[in-house]
Amino acid sequence: MCGIAGAAGTPDTNEEVQRMLAVLGHRGPDACGTYQAKRLSIGNTLLKITGDMPQPLVGKGALVLNGEIFNFRELAAEKGIKTDSDTEVIFTLIETKIKEGETPINAVFSALSRVNGDYALAYALDKELILARDPVGVKPLFYFLEKDLDKTKIAFASEKKAFSGQKTNLMTFPLGSVMALNTHNGRLEMKSLEIEPPEERISEEHEAASRLKATLKKAVETRLTKTVGIAFSGGIDSTFLAALAKSIDDSISLYAVGLPNSHDLIQAEYAAEAAGMRGSLKIHLLSPEEIEAAIPNVIYSTESTNPMKIAIGLPLYFVAKTAKEDGKRVLLTGQGADELFGGYNRHEDFLDQGPEVLDREIHSDIKKISTVNLERDDMVTMANSVELRVPFLDKEVIKTGLAISPELKVLKRDGLYIRKYILRKAADGLLPSELVWKEKKAIQYGTGVQKVLDKLARDAGFSKKEGNHIEKYLKQIAADEGFDFILR
């Protein structure tokens, strides 16, 4: 996990990239490096997780990578590459294709077509700059592109705040895409890495549960490191992940936050005890004062004053902070389970309109999860130099999940709905029944953070009756802190 940035098309690109990387320093406190060619520069701030390979990697071209390639050992074994660096494996695959005569975009596309991972990367060769992002958009990437008759300028970075004076022209790099830009003539070429809809349909309950459990267990296993923890609320998503992780490594640590006696802390303690993991649970008790003090950090990290983003971002920010203080550099979360397996109230309404409607909406939810949730989660965890990993959004888990019939995701029985039914069935037997079938509150309510935000806004003089009182409060904080780039 790292931060990446780059620019092309102006004489002072290296100075610009150095400035951008300085802003991204929290994403990679271990090292910083740049590669410079004529009118082009790319760079990286490094957080060491897998291997100890400094970036950029330079050969015929140059590569910077933000993310993790979870099947890199298998790819390395196939090619006879001896390394503990996933970045080196991707670089070697790309460079091998280049030497065989492939164009840069085809070389990158060929390498990434074989990858299971979360990534945003840039590869530069001569006048070609290639950008790519994983199919779900787990890793963020933003860019600015300006073309006119005699020049083309591009800049890219892992976070919006790295750009200066270009806020209104920024674009989110499309997920599951590979883009090649010829910095000499401005020619653009795009290729898609999007996950294709499954041709099969898994309709038998036992088969669906069995395949889901096996695929998810492998996704958890590939994401475990010596410095990994799990964001734990005691709900089915995080508890299932914890149980699968424990079956692989019983030293796994669980992290829960909340105000004293909040729903999530009570549920986390109960779930950890019932799952035989009470000794693994580490709790951080929040206070209104601590939450108030952290609000500017979360506004800056998420680059937003949206009340929901801040209310959800705050608990995860504290989980990552607690894990970091405990020596962890990686955090697993249950993000994606609700989208993939029908975990929201609205999914009940979609089922009533027909299984095909629910199926279509689940596909839509997966395509939108990056902008709705993942960017926020990445920013608040990386604000603490902690890498976010999401097993439910593993490439193979998504393929399996999309193949499962929608009727097994939201089950309607005797007029009652059971959301995430097949996920619960997959966990049945591994977890006690009282955990498998229990519903939980949304994190902003379960931790008590929403109530604190409401009171802070009212205490600051913003009337709830007049509406949008929390948003007004957050905007006032952003103004007081001088976060002009957020308020524009």
- Other Cβ atoms less than 10 A from the Cβ of 255: the count is 25
The verdict on 147 and 252 lying in the same domain is no
User: SS3 letters for 118-142?
Assistant: EEEEEEEECCEEEEEECCCCCCCCE
Contact partners, residue 329, CB within 8 Å, separation at least 6: 47, 48, 49, 225, 227, 228, 385, 386, 387
Q: What's the pLDDT score for residue 149? A: 64
Cα within 13 Å of Cα(475), Cβ side:
9
Whole-prediction pTM value? 0.94
Q: Regarding beta strands 416-418 and 330-332, do their DSSP bridges make them parallel or antiparallel, or are they unpaired?
A: unpaired
Q: Is the domain of 186 the same as that of 258?
A: no
Does 176 lie in the same domain as 70? yes
Residues 280 and 420 in one domain: yes
Q: What ranges make up the beta strands (E) of 372-410?
A: 387-389
User: Looking at the structure, do residues 102 and 243 belong to the same domain, yes or no?
Assistant: no
For residue 128, give the CATH number of its domain.
3.60.20.10
CATH number for position 346:
3.40.50.620
Read off the tokens for 123.
């590869």
Indicate whether 176 and 213 sit together in one domain. no
| Per-residue pLDDT at 272 | 96
- pLDDT value, residue 363: 94
Strand-pair category, 228-231 with 330-332: parallel
| Omega before 56 within 30 of 0, i.e. cis | yes
pLDDT at 50: 65
Contact at 8 Å (CB) between 340 and 195? no
Residue 245 CA: distances (Å) to CA of 65, 86, 295, 400: 27, 22, 32, 20
Residue 368's alpha-carbon distances to 10, 173, 175, 301, 337, in angstroms, are: 34, 13, 10, 20, 14
Give me the residues paired with residue 283 across strands: 256
Q: Are residues 165 and 220 in the same domain?
A: no
Q: Are residues 405 and 427 in the same domain?
A: yes
Whether 449 is covered by a domain: the verdict is yes
Mean pLDDT by groups of 10 residues along the chain of 488 residues: 87 89 89 89 83 85 95 93 92 96 97 96 95 97 85 91 76 96 90 88 97 98 95 96 95 97 95 94 97 97 96 97 97 97 96 96 96 96 96 96 97 92 96 89 91 97 93 96 78
Is 178 part of a structural domain of the chain? yes
**Residue 486 belongs to a domain:** no
The contacts of residue 355 (CB under 8 Å, 6+ apart) are 405, 406, 407
Domain hosting 6: range is 2-192
Question: Domain boundary at 192, 222, 237, which?
Answer: 192
Sheet of strand 40-46, all strands in order from the earlier edge strand to the far edge = 31-37, 40-46, 2-8, 152-157, 142-147, 171-172
Residues 290 and 439 in one domain: yes
SS3 content of the chain, % helix, strand, coil (to 5): 45, 20, 30
Write down the pLDDT at residue 51. Answer: 62
Q: Which of these three, 133, 166, 192, is where a domain ends?
A: 192
Residues 167 and 221 in one domain: no
- Tell me: do 236 and 184 sit in the same domain: no
Of 192, 213, 231, at which residue does a domain stop? 192
The predicted structure's pLDDT at residue 484: 77
Contact 418, 410 (CB under 8 A): yes
Q: Residue 53 has what pLDDT? A: 72
Q: Are residues 167 and 286 in the same domain?
A: no
Give the total number of structural domains in the chain: 2
